[in-house]
Amino acid sequence: MSFTLPDLPYAHDALAALGMSKETLEYHHDIHHKAYVDNGNKLIAGTEWEGKSVEEIVKGTYQANAVAQNGIFNNASQHWNHTQFWEMMGPGEAGMPGELEKAITESFGSVDKFKEDFSAAGAGQFGSGWAWLVKDKDGSLKVTKTENGVNPLCFGQTALLGCDVWEHSYYIDFRNKRPAYLSNFLDKLVNWENVASRL
């Protein structure tokens, strides 16, 4: 099964007033994400991974003890990560559904504490990577961070929310202010209905 670049679920300028510019999405989706798709397709061609789902490839090529992951993993995981990322954001102003708010409050004490922990994870990720809200194998909710393209699939977790903290995700709009980008992401960009649907 070859990788395909998905269309954004909204127009390129739909998030501009909320802190993610049309220019950012043109670079991030149309160039960066497309590169993972194109490179991933080249790397899996003629291998045992050709014809497998993205999720199978991510789980099957992740090397837990590796200092650096292999090219197939990097491109497959970043394709998966970005596909989720676009869906986890939106231009709507819907609040957090009650079921999700209840689960977050039970796990973190309050929504504000969750946002604080999530922002700290993203800001504290050295170099490139992702901040995540995950549902762990035991059903509990946790905030995690991963380096480069590593994602919750690698650990048997369900990704509820992910934020890309690679510089290409925020440098056009926020320059080097990663904490401000994370705060804006949580307060203005997250599609909480999508997050709740992943519970």
Mean pLDDT of 176-189: 98
Same domain, 65 and 102: no
Q: Is 82 annotated as a binding residue?
A: yes
Q: Residue 94 has what pLDDT?
A: 78
Q: Residue 93 has what pLDDT?
A: 79
Query: What confidence tier does 16 reach under pLDDT thresholds 50, 70, 90?
Result: very high
Same domain, 102 and 179: yes
Mean pLDDT of 163-172: 98
Does a structural domain hold residue 10?
no
Indicate which CATH number applies to the domain containing 147: 3.55.40.20
Element (H, E) at 78: helix 71-87
Q: Is 173 annotated as a binding residue?
A: no
Same domain, 66 and 153: no
Does a structural domain hold residue 148?
yes
Same domain, 104 and 32: no
Nearest to 161 by CA among 108, 173, 126: 108
SS3 state at 77: helix
Indicate which CATH number applies to the domain containing 65: 1.10.287.990
Same domain, 46 and 84: yes
Residues 6 or more apart whose Cβ sits within 8 Å of residue 132: 121, 143, 144, 145, 146, 151, 152, 157, 159, 160, 161, 162, 163
Q: Residue 15 has what pLDDT?
A: 98
Same domain, 72 and 104: no
Same domain, 72 and 118: no
Query: What confidence tier does 56 reach under pLDDT thresholds 50, 70, 90?
Result: very high
| Number of neighbouring beta carbons within 10 Å of residue 56 | 14
Does a structural domain hold residue 164?
yes
Mean pLDDT of 175-180: 98
SS3 state at 170: coil
The parent domain of residue 45 ranges over 21-88
SS3 state at 136: coil
At 141-150, the pLDDT tens digits run 999 999 999 9
Predicted TM-score (pTM) of the model is 0.98
Task: Determine the Cα–Cα distance for residues 38 and 3; give it in Å rounded to an integer.
Answer: 8
| 175, burial (CB in 10 Å: exposed 0-12, middle 13-18, buried 19+) | exposed
The DSSP line for 13-42 is TTTGGGT--HHHHHHIIIIIIHHHHHHHHH
Query: What confidence tier does 70 reach under pLDDT thresholds 50, 70, 90?
Result: very high
Domain boundary among the residues 33, 63, 88 is at 88
C-alpha triplet 159, 162, 182: angle, nearest 5°: 155
Mean pLDDT of 114-122: 98
Same domain, 157 and 68: no
Q: Is 28 annotated as a binding residue?
A: yes
Same domain, 177 and 119: yes
Same domain, 68 and 157: no
Q: Residue 1 has what pLDDT?
A: 79
Task: Determine the Cα–Cα distance for residues 28 and 55; give it in Å rounded to an integer.
Answer: 21
Amino acid at 91: P
How high is the mean pLDDT of the chain?
Answer: 97
At 17-38, the pLDDT tens digits run 999 999 999 999 999 999 999 9
pLDDT over threshold 90, residue 113:
yes
pLDDT over threshold 90, residue 9:
yes
